[in-house]
Copies of this chain bind each other. A is one copy, B any other.
Amino acid sequence: MSIQPPNEVFDPYERLEALGLKLDTRKLRAEWFHATRRSGDLLFTSGQVAHNASGPLYRGRLGAELTVEQGQESAQLAMLNVLSLVHQSTGDLRLWRAFKISVAVSATPDFAEIGEVVNGASLLLVNVFGPIFGAHLRTGHSNVALAGGSAVEVEAIFQARN
């Protein structure tokens, strides 16, 4: 019988540090947009792409300019930006568990490995929140093109732990 590690083992902040990933602490552009909004026990987020202080990363399409590995890293970084939104707007990632992610991948018509790219976002959630609080619903779509030429966009819903 395999026993899963208790969720308490997974402190999101320690896990991010162990993975060498940093949350974005720059002030989020607000204007008309909310970063996150809560209803009931769910926290919805806006869609995020992979970017750092210098601008968007990984522009292009899967199946053409980008490899599957680059797509996965793009999905991971977009997911990391979603976590930054949650951290900045609610103050504590430990209040939340993953609930659902929707991942849009910019791709060519013959690219069939959408699921592999989406795994980049899924794996980050599981690595950071652990196998129970990190498990989630998901959908993956392909797009002709994404805002600013980005390769991957991730939006997510989190659920309050208690």
Contacts and interface: CB of A to CB of B under 8 A. Distances in A.
Interface of A: 30-37, 39-42, 44-47, 61, 63, 99-100, 102, 104, 106-115, 118, 122-123, 125-126, 131, 134-149, 153, 155, 157, 159
A157 B157 CA distance: 14
B142 A112 contact: no
Contacts of A115: 147-148
A113 B144 CA distance: 12
Contacts of A47: 138-140
A145 B108 contact: yes
A99 B136 contact: no
Contacts of A104: 139, 141
A125 B107 CA distance: 31
